[in-house]
Structure 1
């Protein structure tokens, strides 16, 4: 995948007989494929597992539950496209499914990334207002408020990527020059992409990170000075705070740091030929950048684990679901005919 879905008509890509970045068969593709397989399996399992208790929270008009539901929907939509990327790395960076599927897969990839970032940011602000200003904010914190915020985040991110898709030159997104047949791995990147990357890093990562850091700093300071909260509540608040910062540090920060570095090197390097410093930098960092892309996909695994398991209400509902299921099985066993019980026992 390239750094972003690119508006490429405004700036043609330089073509040479030899590629800017050589991507051959290696263990790297298998390593990346393994990360995506793990993300697909555990992401799907955790999101499906927590979907029912989250929906129960939504029925109770719980604001955090609404944020969690929108986060899970975004994660699941991306998870359903993850087999395309698994197939891509299984074929050693060869996209054999056509240009349209490449653009659609990229659309869900980047949309999920920034929907997750902005929803995590919204949740951090919501937590801050609840903890720091409970009386002033309680009357304004309604389910309608949460739905509107989620709708704004979805609309902004999806609209931006739809516009990019409309103006995107699919032959560049689906890079088949020199029979490479890559998906979003076009080198050198067009100037338009490099400029867009700088904006993306500033608005899509640095600004949310600043808001998130300030919000949780305020939360931790308020909780630490509150004598009315017990140690368990304080521990959960700290776990949530450091967990969100951890998601940004592990899943999103490495990708955006390298994305920023690639764009800066692009503008500082006048020579874009395969022998020039820019292509050499891209060659040296290609593996690292691919790994950061794979790490960013792990947010769909961590999101439900982090937010659901630190929530008392959701944890209780999960335990209740398991207890009810176990009780139902026990009641069925007690009321079942003896023959049925013998048959069941024989199958164990």
Structure 2
């Protein structure tokens, strides 16, 4: 039986008059997170690999949206590669078995790719919005070069924004009980960082997703050239995009906002409220954010008509090659059988000697 892991964490209240020791339940999230990470890995890795191939074909065909979808798939795939280390970490009672640099690198890749993915989701929605609402006006604006520049800019800005990860003491896993990026006592810097992540990394992207998908839906409803089933498909995709974003990223960023607000009320820290009531929901909400990486290929890529054509083409090509190989095998076997039958019909030397000549 896995021993319940508890730790005593020293928390100093802002007024400096209270030095409180709190108990953090590090073992409560073990089973939910291990199961969640395992399922996300099993589904997400092959889905993103297939998506990278299909979207690469679209990029070669000069599809602008393919740039964002390919970048999103690469980002999600890289993001998922960190999950085995987090699974080992959580299953081991939140003790990091490797070096501090490995902890910092894993945390950097995890959080950087999370927010790159969020901003790429916005790019996908904005590109669809421009293509649908401004179909004629956007013909000269939607270029692969521009999409590539936007994607690279997002990667650079988010990467630089998370550079402080390498200097945060939460990433120093070589001391104490070898924790890796566990939430510690809030400071002014961490509080400001949490406010920025909520506003820029969640609220602003959510507003973009709601605005663009609502405009796409309104434009499609007013269209007379689309069949009802096509309109229903667009409506379901628009609703699913917003709901998935809220479910995956909403709980985590709301808890970040709560922690930032709590910093201004020191008396809330005196009763170990975060450790007793919020820590486990916090870690599970962070785990929920990984679901987005597994569902993105299904939600965005498989809903694309161009991708559907690529899939049908690949499947048709596969079955055609299989049928040709089967026919070739059957033809070879048929020829061998005919050759054998022919050889059986030819008389041997002994048969020639005993055969009775037939009259002419």
Is contact 2:116-2:154 (8 Å) kept?
yes
How far apart are residue 34 of structure 1 and its match? 1.0
What corresponds to 2:291 in structure 1? 298
Q: Which has the greater radius of gyration? A: 2
Q: What is the distance in 2 between the residues matched to 1:161 and 1:253?
A: 20
Q: Residue 62 and residue 289 in structure 1: after superposition, are their counterparts in 2 closer, same or farther (change >3 A)?
A: same
How far apart are residue 338 of structure 1 and its match? 4.2
What corresponds to 1:165 in structure 2? 165
> 1:294-315 CA deviation, whole Å, 9 max, x = no partner?
1001111011110111111102
Normalised by the length of structure 2, the TM-score is 0.82
- Determine which structure has greater relative contact order: mean sequence separation of CA pairs < 8 Å that are 6+ residues apart, divided by chain length: 1
What does residue range 220-239 of structure 1 map to in structure 2 within 5 Å?
Answer: 220-239=217-236
What corresponds to 2:178 in structure 1? 181
> 1:264-291 CA deviation, whole Å, 9 max, x = no partner?
112212575xxx13x3233311111111
SS at 1:228's partner residue? coil
What does residue range 19-168 of structure 1 map to in structure 2 within 5 Å?
Answer: 20-26=22-28, 28-162=29-163, 164-166=164-166, 168=167
> 1:171-195 CA deviation, whole Å, 9 max, x = no partner?
4323566x43211114223331112
Q: Residue 338 and residue 19 in structure 1: after superposition, are their counterparts in 2 closer, same or farther (change >3 A)?
A: farther
Is contact 1:252-1:296 (8 Å) kept?
yes
Is contact 1:23-1:93 (8 Å) kept?
no
How far apart are residue 326 of structure 1 and its match? 2.6
Q: What is the distance in 2 between the residues matched to 1:98 and 1:283?
A: 29
Q: Does 1:259 align with 2:291?
A: no
How far apart are residue 323 of structure 1 and its match? 2.6
Q: Which stretches in structure 2 are left out of the alignment for 5+ residues?
A: 1-13, 335-360
Q: What is the distance in 2 between the residues matched to 1:18 and 1:175?
A: 23
What does residue range 208-223 of structure 1 map to in structure 2 within 5 Å?
Answer: 208-223=205-220
Q: Residue 186 and residue 212 in structure 1: after superposition, are their counterparts in 2 closer, same or farther (change >3 A)?
A: closer
What corresponds to 1:8 in structure 2? none
Q: Residue 76 and residue 218 in structure 1: after superposition, are their counterparts in 2 closer, same or farther (change >3 A)?
A: same
Q: CA RMSD in A?
A: 2.2
What does residue range 336-347 of structure 1 map to in structure 2 within 5 Å?
Answer: 336=329, 337-338=332-333
Normalised by the length of structure 1, the TM-score is 0.85
Number of aligned residue pairs: give it: 317
Is contact 2:62-2:144 (8 Å) kept?
yes
SS at 1:240's partner residue? helix
SS at 2:142's partner residue? coil
Q: What is the distance in 2 between the residues matched to 1:54 and 1:107?
A: 26
Question: Which portions of structure 1, spanning 4 or more consecutive aligned residues, are displaced by more than 6 angstroms?
Answer: none
> 1:174-226 CA deviation, whole Å, 9 max, x = no partner?
3566x432111142233311121011101111111112211111111111111
Q: What is the distance in 2 between the residues matched to 1:322 and 1:20?
A: 58
Q: What is the distance in 2 between the residues matched to 1:70 and 1:204?
A: 18
Is contact 1:21-1:187 (8 Å) kept?
no
Q: Residue 225 and residue 88 in structure 1: after superposition, are their counterparts in 2 closer, same or farther (change >3 A)?
A: same
What corresponds to 1:281 in structure 2? 274
What does residue range 189-208 of structure 1 map to in structure 2 within 5 Å?
Answer: 189-208=186-205
